[in-house]
Structure formats: C-alpha cells, structure tokens
Amino acid sequence: MDSFEYNSNPSRVVFGSGTIKKVPEELSRANVSKPFLLSTPQQVSHIDLLKGVLGDVVSGVFTEATMHTPVEVTERALEQLKSSGADSIISIGGGSTVGLGKALSIRTGLFHLTIPTTYAGSEVTPILGETDAGRKTTRSDPKILPSAVVYDVDLTMTLPVGLTATSGVNAIAHAVEALYARNTNPVINLLAQEGVKALASSLPVLISEPSSQEARSSALYGAWLCGVCLGSVGMSIHHKLCHTLGGSFNLPHSETHTIVLPHALSYNAPKVPEAIKALASTLPGNEGDAIRGLNILLQKLKVERGLKALGMQESDIDKAADIAVSNPYWNPRPIERDPIRELIRRAWAGEEARADL
C-alpha cells in the first residue's frame, strides 16, 4: 500500500428524522443560548419552523443569503449579527446559507450549527468560497468548519425534483475529484465510493418518487459522505472550472456542477485509470466506463446539459478558458488552454461527454 496522510474534520453530526427538535440540546451542549438565524428569502418557512423549536431565545434573523456568498451580503449580515447580541449562528438551507454562516463564523469566532436542506455538502467542509467584484475566491481554514451539523431527512422531503437532481450530482462531484486527488487516501476512497453509490441509486428513484423517505435518507447520507471527501482532500479541474463559471458569469451552483462534471472527468480520465475503475464500480449500467456511467445517470435525472441554457453566452467561452488557466493549480493532467476551451465549449453546447479531449 502507498504511504498516505489522513486528517479527520472534527464536526459533530446528528442524523435522522425529526432531528431539528434536537437543536436546543446541541446549543446547550456547546454552552450557547442566543442564536442568530440565517436563510435565503425562499426558505423563510424553515426559519419559522426553527423559531418554533427554539422559542424566544432567537437573537436575530437574516434571510438574504445569496449564492456564491457575495461579500457585500456578508457585510450586511455581519452588521446585524453584531448588533443582535448573539453568541452563536444557525444556518438552515442549502450551500448559499451554509456559506454565509461560514463567512460570519470565521469573521466573529461564533459557534456555527448548520441544518442542511439540500445535498450540497458544504456543511462538513472547512472551505469558504466568496465572490467580490465578479471573482470568486476560495480559502480553507479549520475554523471555517461548522461545529455541528443536524441532518433532518424530513426537511429534504419537499426539495424540488430538479434541485434534488442537481444538488445530488454536485455532491457526487466532490467524491469524483476526491478519488484522484493528489492527497487522496484509502479512507477517503471508501467514503467516496460509498457516497456515489448511495446517491447514484437514490437520485433516479427520487425523480419518479420524490416523497420516498428511504431514498431521501439514502441521498442525504450519500451527500454527507461526499461532503466529507470535499473537506478532506484537494479538488482539481472540475471545481476550479465551476468556481470560474459561477463566480464570473453568475451561473447557478449545482446546475453548473452537474453540466461540467462528465466533461471534467473525461479531461482527466487518461491520467487516473484506477480512479476511473473505482468510480465505474459505483455507477450502474456503465459497462466499466465511468464517463458513460455519468452520462447515463444524467439522462435518468433529466437535467439540463448545456451552460447556454443557464445564460452563459458563447462569447464567454474564451474568457472562461483564460480565467481557468490563469492561476496554476494541481491537476492529474496538465492544464492546457486548447483542450480546456473545448471542454467548456462542449459543456456550453450541452453535448454528451466523450473520452477524446
């Protein structure tokens, strides 16, 4: 066996059905009592639910969390947080809300408990991506990691089918890149394969049976494992491209990840045969071909395959390629502009991924 290093992230996880009722217990465990609540404008109902659980201890509420965590939004929330007298932060929602919670926590040092309602995985990573002046930057710090995560399957039962699919594929992307990460290790490989397997089996069920409690539970479990992968090892071309596209062209996060993933995998495939083999074992009906397996899964999920449908202009392809190659980063295959441009063009056009990049 090759030498490796493994670090586990010390967040506390509470998983189950109806677990939102355990939030007061988790706050008491952390010796905090005046939480500041965060959500997006679309998830105010979750705030109301949380208020019902917490009672009159809530110190304040901010419901303007936005995708890609714009710095100006964080600054507005920070001002309200400081004036509220809060001693803790609770974020409830998807990656946008979790990201805002992280941004506030790293700036204040306050205890951060998060309650995910999608499959983003951000809740178990020490990574924060923020957008300022049209550029998205990412940093990693153990202090960014939320201290506690409450997974309540019940809160995912009404997740729209479209977001269920793209959020789940976004989670799969974390595991895919973990399999060929420079600092991957046997533990993360096991988590990655188990996470992809759980999601690849449950997501197609949820397209036709969105109220399946069993499939919802399996998907949330898989998303947790894939998120752990994201938070434990380095990411490569897929995540770099998605940050470029999302931050620079304001494209929706999970939909962008869903479209780019099979193309990014096809770019790296020639250099990571063992990772491709491991991934293929988790995807049904692929005949040993992981790229084919992803194409089949996306067909089953009936997701959008082209960035142009998300609002990206054809004239942005060259700009995106320039940004993607402007800051060197590790990737199993060297980053070369021409094939990267072709990768982005195929993703823009909505073509199926193929192994000839």
- HSE-up of residue 283 (Cα within 13 Å, Cβ side): 25
Fold that domain 12-156 belongs to in CATH: Rossmann fold (3.40.50)
Please give the pLDDT value at position 259.
98
> What's the pLDDT score for residue 5?
83
Tokens describing residue 283: 């995807």
Q: Say which amino acid occupies 149.
A: V
Tokens of 99: 């990201």
Work out the pLDDT band at 8, boundaries 50, 70, 90: confident
For residue 305, pLDDT over 90 is answered with yes
Query: Of 94, 35, 88, 23, nearest to 65 (Cα)?
Result: 94
Q: What would the pLDDT profile of 53-74 be if each residue is shown by its tens digit?
A: 999 999 999 999 998 899 999 9
* CA–CA gap between residue 122 and residue 124 (Å, rounded): 6
Each residue of 268-289: pLDDT tens digit? 999 999 999 999 999 987 778 9
Q: How many residues does the chain have?
A: 357
Between residues 6 and 117, the one the model is more confident about? 117
Name the percent of the chain lying above pLDDT 70: 100
Cβ contact 156:219 at 8 Å: yes
Cα–Cα distance for residue pair 249/350, rounded to 1 Å: 17
**pLDDT tens digits for 236-252?**
999 999 988 988 898 99
Compute the mean pLDDT over every residue in the chain, rounded to the nearest whole number: 94
Secondary-structure class of domain 161-349 per CATH: mainly alpha
Q: What is the model's pLDDT at position 327?
A: 80
Local confidence band at 313 (pLDDT 50, 70, 90 cut-offs):
very high
Rounded to an integer, the average pLDDT of 174-187 is 96
pTM to 2 decimal places? 0.91
What pLDDT is recorded for position 35?
98
- Sorted by where each begins, the domain ranges of the chain are 12-156, 161-349
- Listed residue (283, 152, 170) closest to 217, CA to CA: 152
Q: Say yes or no to pLDDT of 292 above 80.
A: yes
> What is the rounded CA–CA span in Å between residue 59 and residue 84?
6
β partners of residue 129: 138
**Taking Cα atoms as reference points, which of 181, 164, 173 lies closest to residue 260?**
173
Mean pLDDT over 70-82 rounds to 97
Please tell me the predicted confidence (pLDDT) of residue 352. Answer: 95
12-156 and 161-349, same CATH topology:
no
pLDDT at 134 over 80: no
pLDDT confidence tier of residue 119, bands split at 50, 70 and 90: very high
116 phi, psi to nearest 5 deg? -70, 140
Q: According to the 3-state scheme, what is the secondary structure of the chain?
A: CCCCCCCCCCCEEEEECCHHHHHHHHHHHCCCCCEEEECCHHHHHHHHHHHHHHHHHCCEEECCCCCCCEHHHHHHHHHHHHHHCCCEEEEEECHHHHHHHHHHHHHHCCEEEEEECCCCCHHHCCEEEEEECCEEEEEECHHHCCCEEEEEHHHHCCCCHHHHHHHHHHHHHHHHHHHCCCCCCHHHHHHHHHHHHHHHHHHHHHHHCCCCHHHHHHHHHHHHHHHHHHHHCCCCHHHHHHHHHHHHHCCCHHHHHHHHHHHHHHHHHHHCHHHHHHHHCCCCCCCCCHHHHHHHHHHHHCCCCCHHHHCCCCCHHHHHHHHHHHCCCCCCCCCCHHHHHHHHHHHHHCCCCCCCC
Q: Are 217 and 159 in contact (CB under 8 A)?
A: no
